[in-house]
Structure 1
């Protein structure tokens, strides 16, 4: 058995069904080995998109997402997306080909210190040093990606390790399993006592504990503890349009439990004025680094720290909760704040479709589809859509603030659930990054609907220039009003060009009926993103 066979069979043993890959010399032996398994290879057009696809796939299936790329520049191309997977707390395994061990130090083809490069954007980066330990190395990497705070792990696979013969065996399924960090009973009792004494508690969760990824756990926790549970996963932080006016309610909390949510820029480091000065604050996290970060940010204002997995802590709180202090009014107040979308109507700045009209048309599709997944990119258009498009499952660009993740995320989402209606929104700046992935979507039957808000500029940066430097200081942010729909048609997708709000509904209907991936290119009125919270701090 070759090392490559150990890789393919180990992936199958851990439950992986799909590998998002871009071919290259050093990994072709794994492509060959995959033929003898049930693994499905999704061949992408850019290495970063292989990771973005794996990221969304993992979030929606609960499985580990697997991406595979070649050595050298192929590996380097994947790293920016690994940063996104790290900040979105997604268990992704990046397998990369590598130069042969026997040629280390010789200036081999694509010789590169991969582990040093990947270290900062992963939970761990390892290089396999023997075909005989290959299965064990993969099992440890996959277990690590799943354990503690979920996140990406990189494994470099030297070409000679993959082609070498070995008598090693594939590890058992439990070798790939998550290693739980259980809360202590005394810590659960402390939290339950704090909730019992609180009038206005709030539980904050992070990217790994959203409704999309935690399922019914958040609703069960809300009801058991009788406290609002609010996930925060946007780079716009408390200014996230999807949070409405929640930042204003947070200022009145008397107890804040950060359940896996890092005390970072997205909550303005818990500064007074964001977290009330007299509120009790508990940090719950599986990783010591996050607890130390909370201590640095909050100092003596941190009431307690608990080292445990957020979801397991939530389950124990649900089990231990008893009917106590009723907080119907507080929960209603927070729910109303989260739903609040009050804003002054913005006058059109040009002759394009206003973003709110796009969002309302997409929401109608989401509601009629039933089984819908919404995938959001960043930028001003992305923030408009995130504020007004609500689906039961959502994948977004996340805390990394990466743009251009949406194209890969949407294809990964459609592969994860072929029966879902996947709606993806992205700006025209973003569309230029990975437009070639329409080819991947067509080949793989990933019939997502991609809606491009085309305002012919980098609007987020344009708005920053206007705010910071003045309206007469705009420069370097213009783009062409490109017909992305025509480009998508050339790659085999369905294309639509929309210039008025009245055209949106029929265009979306034709896209859904086309049986193809679809690109709806909307001529957009360039407007600043909405902010609903009255006094929410900026993200940075």
Structure 2
């Protein structure tokens, strides 16, 4: 009689659901799955730390819209990986964290690495649970895939007890779920909701549409641009923890303060919008809120709520675009808002570093020129202060940032996933020296798998975001404990088998970027920079 282990069911179900790559770190509890995956076409990327697995899965989910899958072992392997779920949750990224787990038959008896893993992951996920039987493994995976993508996308966790993975059952008794079992339900907007939104927009003098992180992928940004062109009104995507001070949005705070109707499409009313309070928004600014999550509809002040409704934001964008041609266009307001969003201080053109250190603006000029020559490239921004400058200054096709959580450290794993998703196209990650330390060992992963990307490390030998807090809050005589060494991170990467270059003059950086790209290796360009605050963009007057 032919049999299948629980691990075989897991592997075959993942393949049937369309998984082609898993980001993983091995461990006792998941070795049956490693073995079972040998019989599938699924590729593994074997990393050096579990959080990196989840960050890679997060980037994969954001870039493809597919569920990014991370596979880690139980115990601390799970807790290491679960820590990165916070970033994916805030970014609304479809991720599945699969963790090995102590055997069900041993729970409560002091099992090896026994933890309440689902309870640990639950606050950082849309759903988290532990498989309860071999028969449930396939349906559990299909359910997890559906939840990760349905409504507001986000991470899901499933723990896999090792005794279930090792148990064999008759193959004839197993039905492997197909993609239909994980199909999502799309919440289309009711016709009355679309009509009410259009009426509210028609009645406003200075409306603004803000879209949430899930719409900040390539297709979402294209849909936003189409709606803006059709309506003749400003439409922005918000995915930064800097919120109204997001440097990618220029003088956005100025636009928001003048808005008289703020339409939130899948965008939570939260700290990034200063909770809708004055002076960030005018006291009489009205709200229109459309969201797949009923709890978020209730955040807007009831006395200022013009429209609210449950729906997924993408079909709302499409419905508004299809029916918006009859609306009056607010051309003057649109021009005013676009000028503010595009504004960058002219004085930046004259910023230069001193004493063998570049100003971040000089670093960004070189990266911008490089990506202009490589329009299929990907920009990744990470770090507290240095990561904000390229968001303001580097143009280009697709972009990944750390996201609303504000967590730093994901850029090297992000870069690996981005390079795998678009082979042959350059990936440039701009990050700080503090950030580099979180996952520098993943350069070993990139070397082993021959995954080229370029990490441009802005090295000011400091935890600069926290240093800037000390300066602002406590004064220069109390700036303590945030210094680092001016470490040669480029030679660290060379020791791991990658390309490294040190840059201390702006004129050196363009050639270093081209040499890094030509090397075909994972690369680190260690750029010594001045320690300056991130930009907060305001127009004079």
TM-score class, shorter-chain normalisation, is over 0.9
Match of 1:286 in 2: 292
Are the aligned partners of 1:72 and 1:112 in contact in 2 as well (CA < 8 Å)? yes
3-state DSSP class of the match of 1:256?
strand
Greater Cα offset, 65-74 or 216-225? 216-225
C-alpha displacement at 1:518, in angstroms?
0.6
Alignment counterpart, residue 336 of structure 1, candidates 321, 335, 339: 339
Are the aligned partners of 1:372 and 1:420 in contact in 2 as well (CA < 8 Å)? yes
Are the aligned partners of 2:352 and 2:358 in contact in 1 as well (CA < 8 Å)? no
Alignment counterpart, residue 375 of structure 1, candidates 380, 390, 402: 380
C-alpha displacement at 1:214, in angstroms?
1.6
Q: For 2:456 and 2:310, how far apart are their aligned partners in 1?
A: 42
Q: For 2:107 and 2:333, how far apart are their aligned partners in 1?
A: 63
Are the aligned partners of 2:196 and 2:307 in contact in 1 as well (CA < 8 Å)? no
CA-atom RMSD, angstroms?
Answer: 1.5
C-alpha displacement at 1:324, in angstroms?
2.6
Greater Cα offset, 272-281 or 148-157? 272-281
After TM superposition, the structure 1 = structure 2 runs for residues 96-245 of structure 1, keeping only pairs within 5 Å, are 96-166=99-169, 167-212=173-218, 214-245=220-251
Match of 2:486 in 1: 481
Alignment counterpart, residue 443 of structure 1, candidates 433, 443, 448: 448
Greater Cα offset, 110-119 or 211-220? 211-220
Are the aligned partners of 2:345 and 2:539 in contact in 1 as well (CA < 8 Å)? no
Are the aligned partners of 2:128 and 2:157 in contact in 1 as well (CA < 8 Å)? yes
3-state DSSP class of the match of 1:131?
coil
Match of 2:458 in 1: 453
Q: TM-score normalised to the size of structure 1?
A: 0.96
Q: For 1:16 and 1:153, how far apart are their aligned partners in 2?
A: 15
Q: For 2:218 and 2:486, how far apart are their aligned partners in 1?
A: 35
Matched, 1:46 2:49: yes
Q: For 1:444 and 1:57, how far apart are their aligned partners in 2?
A: 17
Q: For 2:317 and 2:354, how far apart are their aligned partners in 1?
A: 47
Greater Cα offset, 56-65 or 93-102? 56-65
Q: For 1:373 and 1:52, how far apart are their aligned partners in 2?
A: 16
3-state DSSP class of the match of 1:433?
coil
Q: Deviation string for 1:484-538 (max 9, x for gaps)?
A: 1011011111000111111101111110100111100011111111111359xxx
After TM superposition, the structure 1 = structure 2 runs for residues 334-373 of structure 1, keeping only pairs within 5 Å, are 334-342=337-345, 344=347, 348=353, 351-373=356-378
Alignment counterpart, residue 266 of structure 1, candidates 247, 261, 272: 272
Q: TM-score normalised to the size of structure 2?
A: 0.96
Q: For 1:407 and 1:148, how far apart are their aligned partners in 2?
A: 29
Are the aligned partners of 1:7 and 1:134 in contact in 2 as well (CA < 8 Å)? yes
Are the aligned partners of 1:349 and 1:527 in contact in 2 as well (CA < 8 Å)? no
3-state DSSP class of the match of 2:210?
strand
**Gap change, CA 1:3 and 1:211, over 3 Å in 2:** closer
C-alpha displacement at 1:389, in angstroms?
1.2
Matched, 1:309 2:286: no
Q: Deviation string for 1:449-475 (max 9, x for gaps)?
A: 000001001111111101100011110
Structure 1: 5+ residue stretches without partners: 536-540
Q: Deviation string for 1:15-39 (max 9, x for gaps)?
A: 1111000011111111111111111
Greater Cα offset, 375-384 or 141-150? 375-384
Q: Deviation string for 1:233-260 (max 9, x for gaps)?
A: 1111111111100110122222210000
Greater Cα offset, 198-207 or 61-70? 198-207
Greater Cα offset, 359-368 or 173-182? 173-182
Higher relative contact order (CA 8 A, sep 6+): 1
Match of 1:57 in 2: 60
**Gap change, CA 1:347 and 1:503, over 3 Å in 2:** closer
C-alpha displacement at 1:116, in angstroms?
0.9
Alignment counterpart, residue 252 of structure 1, candidates 258, 263, 286: 258
Matched, 1:429 2:421: no
C-alpha displacement at 1:172, in angstroms?
2.2
Are the aligned partners of 1:350 and 1:525 in contact in 2 as well (CA < 8 Å)? no
Greater Cα offset, 269-278 or 510-519? 269-278
3-state DSSP class of the match of 1:332?
helix
C-alpha displacement at 1:344, in angstroms?
4.6
Match of 1:387 in 2: 392
Q: For 1:486 and 1:456, how far apart are their aligned partners in 2?
A: 16
C-alpha displacement at 1:220, in angstroms?
1.8
Structure 2: 5+ residue stretches without partners: none
Alignment counterpart, residue 524 of structure 1, candidates 507, 523, 529: 529
C-alpha displacement at 1:445, in angstroms?
2.3
Q: Count the aligned residue pairs.
A: 532
C-alpha displacement at 1:328, in angstroms?
2.4
